[in-house]
Amino acid sequence: MFSITSRLRFNRIFKPVNETHCRYRVVLGSAGSGKSVNVAQDLILKLSDPKYAGANLLVIRKSEGTNRYSTFAELQAVIFRMCGEYWEDFWIINSSRLMITSKITGNSIIFRGVNDKKQREKLKSITFPKGKLVWVWIEEATELEEADIDIIDDRLRGELSNPHLYYQITMTFNPVSALHWIKRKYWDVVDPDVFTHRSTYLDNKFIDAAYYSRMERRRNDDPEGFKVYGLGEWGETSGMILSNYVVEDFDTDIGNFDAARYGQDFGYNHANAILDVRFKDDVIYIASEIYCYEKLVDEIIRMAEQRNYDRSRIMHCDSASPEPIKKWIACGWNAHGVFKDSGCVMSQIDYLKQHKIIVHPSCTNTLKEMSQWRWKKDEKTGLYTDNPIEFFDDAMAALRYSVEDFRRIKTINKPNQVKARRA
């Protein structure tokens, strides 16, 4: 029998997080602090421990579909790291039903959302083959309404036959507005049932050098955003550029759409982003993404080929980088540089703001950028300008490029009715 815990690495700062039995475990942290990885590891270890037999875990995201590409993937990755090639001896992972079960204890994990009334109703009828619902993990908890948490909290009740078990709701999130209800209800109170914890990327001893450099650059380029996403401080959410988007799982078959484009923003030390963008009935759909760091153009082209991206589809690219465009064209792709005239960025943003945007839950990096994309603030006046902050915006640049020909003609037409414009 091999040691499974030795295969997992923990940051010392999370030791009190993993030891508390408080009913509410409120874990706030900056981007890259490692808070979600830690919670995933902590829960998997406990669920596989016979000491906690009879415990079951409910994992919540605002949109149920986003679990597959975030919390489910994170918990699955922990199992693979912990058990290696022997994981099937210890766990049952049902990817279609999104359910994970320990073969040692019989403890299970299920995944739900609270995006609408139907999803909320499903929370009221949760049962498990063995044991009870004991633990809840709410990832990106600031996305939820206070009433959502109350519904979940009401499910944790009744006597527990195993004396080692305890009811607990874990909330992980990046801090947002200082007026958020979580701050009022949990963070600012002194309550023996509430445990609070703050961490930043500086506390993560496993963070890679490139990510550390990117965060340090944000300290200078976006001081206001750095307080929230770098230092884990409560801040403000005013100045957000896009609020007209939702996360929905949708059928990505190309026949369901009127038109389709790729948008690409080139990068190496910062992200190279390609978005697969579709259009239907005046709605913009983001169907998939390629988002990578420190990759050469040839490597990214291979990634696009492996994803079965369509070479013939128009790909709008950053015209400031002509050499990569030439490489894409030489490999048979319909790549074009976007003509950057005066005011084009604002015009592209205006076009995006005038249309509903539906983001597929697999586009996790796009969603991260979209939720943080903000206007610059004038340091002297304290007012927001008409210029977006040029940091952590690679997918947003790709999204802007993808609508280029449509925003110029102001309508979304069938693919063969719209011709690309070369820079």
What range does the domain containing 71 cover?
5-210
Instruction: Check which CATH number belongs to the domain holding 384 and give it.
Output: 3.30.420.280
Assess whether 42 and 110 both reside in one domain: yes
111 and 17 housed in the same domain: yes
Other C-beta atoms lying within 10 Å of the C-beta of residue 326: 13
Taking residues 11-34, what's their average pLDDT? 96
Q: Is residue 149 part of a domain?
A: yes
* Mean of the per-residue pLDDT values of the chain: 90
CATH number at residue 58: 3.40.50.300
- Verify that 163 and 249 share a domain, yes or no: no
Which of 187, 210, 233 corresponds to the end of one domain?
Answer: 210
> What are 392's two structure tokens?
């952590």
- Choose among 198, 146, 204: nearest CA to 173: 198
For residue 324, the tally of other CB atoms under 10 A from its CB is 21
Q: Can you tell me the distance from the alpha carbon of 45 to that of 227, in angstroms, rounded to the nearest whole number? A: 33
Same domain, 147 and 295: no
> 38 and 184 in one domain?
yes
Residues 6+ apart with CB under 8 A from 42: 14, 17, 18
Residue 233 lies in a domain: no
Residue 101 lies in a domain: yes
Q: Are residues 46 and 135 in the same domain?
A: yes
Strands 108-113, 99-102: pairing is: antiparallel
- Residue 18 CA to residue 358 CA, distance in Å, equals 36
The answer as to whether 107 is a domain residue is yes
Q: Does residue 229 lie in a domain region?
A: no
Residues 284 and 160 in one domain: no
Distance, in Å, from the CA atom of 22 to the CA atom of 18, rounded to the nearest integer, reads 11
Query: Is 234 inside a domain boundary?
Result: no
Whether 357 is covered by a domain: the verdict is: yes
- 155 with 268, same domain? no
Contact 122, 112 (CB under 8 A): yes
Is residue 358 in a domain?
yes
pLDDT digits (tens, 9 = 90+) for 372-402: 898 988 878 878 888 898 888 999 999 999 9
- Give kind and range of the element (H or E) at residue 358: strand 356-359
**Alpha-carbon distance 198 to 207, whole Å?**
17
* Residues 16 and 164 both lie in one domain: yes
Tokens describing residue 46? 């406990």
Q: Do 346 and 205 have their domain in common?
A: no
Write the pLDDT tens digit of every residue in 327-350.
999 999 999 999 887 788 999 999
- pLDDT confidence of residue 236: 66
Least confident of 53-62, 88-97, 120-129, 149-158: 120-129
Q: Are residues 179 and 301 in the same domain?
A: no
With a cut of 90, say whether residue 186 has pLDDT above it.
yes
* Number of compact structural domains in the chain: 2
If asked whether residues 25 and 159 sit together in one domain, one would say yes
Q: Is 259 exposed, middle or buried (0-12, 13-18, 19+ CB in 10 A)?
A: buried
Number of other residues whose CB lies within 10 A of the CB of residue 195: 20
- Of 61-75, 198-212, 364-378, the range with the lowest mean pLDDT is 364-378
User: Which position has the higher pLDDT, 198 or 392?
Assistant: 198
Of 210, 228, 253, the residue that ends a domain is 210
**Could you report the per-residue pLDDT of 33-52, keeping only the tens digit for each?**
999 999 999 999 999 999 99
Least confidently predicted of 2-6, 329-333, 408-412:
2-6
